[in-house]
């Protein structure tokens, strides 16, 4: 077991060096992908090093969990005239913390999802949260769920978790509702931007300045090199070359953060100032 962990740590170290090379070669445009890959690898390493058992090791208990979630989904999305297909997938390496939250929050998330009057629904329980991907119909009424989404988002903030949504328009229109839980919050790691130390969950939402400009007018929080905070309604014209862009696609109101400095997942440093971004959203 110890030898396996050493191999995993060695592979993790090699991967981090390759990610750093990717950042240097690709510059700001590669930052979002690099941060997401690093967060995923760090989460996997954390799971491998965890001494506690995984739910999947208790087959009967896991089946009870699955049955309860599948029952909630079937009740929320009865297949028939409107919903043509309903599926669910459960990641085997998900820990008890994720399962506990999934059992507590799935029904609430289905209520929001139903505002899109979906025709197809795919549920996924992943290592760091739960996802409902759906195909909305012409009867979708997003405005009906904005108040509920706001209330739910505020509640999730208290446990340092994020509810977001993304729209995909490839072969057909789809919407993805995701709750991401702060699985690395208690670990010796943070998302460091210059001298600021942020919750590692925010590394998943790093984006580019061009992507922010394409969103149009929305609330923007700027944090300068002196940690001064300014609220704007659009992307500023000033130079943001040496800044980290974070976009949080909330259902009720999208929000972006522009923070001076380059961001990456690192070990926590006492010299860095701990910033609780969740407090800014309340």
Distance CA 13, CA 19 (A): 10
Query: How many domains does the chain fold into?
Result: 2
| Same-domain status, 170 and 218 | no
E strand or H helix that includes residue 87: strand 85-90
| Same-domain status, 28 and 42 | yes
Q: What angle do CA 106, 107, 111 make, to 5 degrees?
A: 115
| Same-domain status, 35 and 95 | no
| Same-domain status, 59 and 150 | yes
Domain of 220 in residue numbering reads as 2-51+184-281
| Same-domain status, 133 and 166 | yes
Q: Which of 180, 214, 231 is the last residue of a domain?
A: 180
Give the pLDDT score at 223: 87
> pLDDT at residue 3 above 50?
no
Q: Which of 159, 180, 201 is the last residue of a domain?
A: 180
Nearest to 281 by CA among 164, 111, 194, 190: 164
| Same-domain status, 61 and 13 | no
Give the pLDDT score at 274: 59
pLDDT: is 123 or 59 the higher one? 123
Segment 159-174, tens digit of pLDDT? 889 999 998 887 789 9
C-alpha dist (Å) from residue 88 to 3, 63, 75: 35, 13, 14
Distance CA 244, CA 85 (A): 40
**Tokens 């896991």 appear where?**
62
| Same-domain status, 72 and 46 | no
Segment 171-210, tens digit of pLDDT? 789 999 999 998 776 566 788 888 788 888 998 999 988 8
CA 52 to chain centre: 24
CATH number at residue 125: 3.30.565.10
| Same-domain status, 70 and 172 | yes
Q: What average pLDDT does the segment 210-227 reach? A: 86
Query: Average per-residue pLDDT in the chain?
Result: 82
Segment 105-116, tens digit of pLDDT? 999 999 999 999
Segment 117-143, tens digit of pLDDT? 999 999 999 989 999 999 999 888 888
């Amino acid at each position: 077991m110890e030898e396996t962990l050493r191999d995993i740590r060695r592979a993790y170290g090699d991967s981090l060096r390759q990610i750093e090379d990717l950042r240097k070669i690709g510059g700001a445009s590669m930052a979002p992908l690099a941060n997401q890959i690093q967060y995923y690898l760090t989460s996997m390493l954390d799971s491998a090093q965890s001494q506690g058992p995984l739910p999947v090791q208790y087959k009967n208990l896991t089946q009870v969990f699955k049955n309860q979630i599948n029952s909630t989904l079937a009740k929320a999305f009865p297949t028939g005239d409107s919903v043509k297909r309903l599926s669910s997938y459960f990641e085997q390496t998900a820990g008890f913390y994720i399962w506990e939250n999934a059992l507590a929050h799935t029904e609430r998330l289905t209520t929001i999802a139903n505002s899109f009057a979906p025709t197809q629904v795919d549920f996924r329980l992943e290592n760091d949260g739960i996802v409902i991907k759906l195909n909305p119909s012409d009867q979708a009424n997003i405005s009906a769920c904005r108040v509920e989404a706001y209330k739910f988002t505020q509640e999730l903030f208290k446990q340092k978790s994020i509810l977001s949504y993304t729209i995909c328009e490839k072969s057909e229109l789809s919407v993805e509702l995701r709750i991401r839980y702060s699985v690395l919050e208690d670990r010796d790691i943070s998302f460091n931007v210059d001298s600021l130390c942020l919750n590692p969950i925010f590394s998943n939402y790093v984006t580019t300045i061009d992507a922010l400009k394409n969103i149009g007018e929305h609330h923007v929080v700027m944090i300068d090199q002196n940690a001064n905070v300014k609220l704007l309604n659009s992307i500023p014209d000033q130079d943001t070359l040496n800044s980290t862009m974070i976009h949080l696609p909330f259902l009720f109101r999208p929000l972006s953060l522009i923070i001076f400095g380059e961001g990456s997942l690192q070990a926590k440093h006492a010299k860095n100032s701990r910033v609780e971004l969740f407090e800014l959203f309340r």
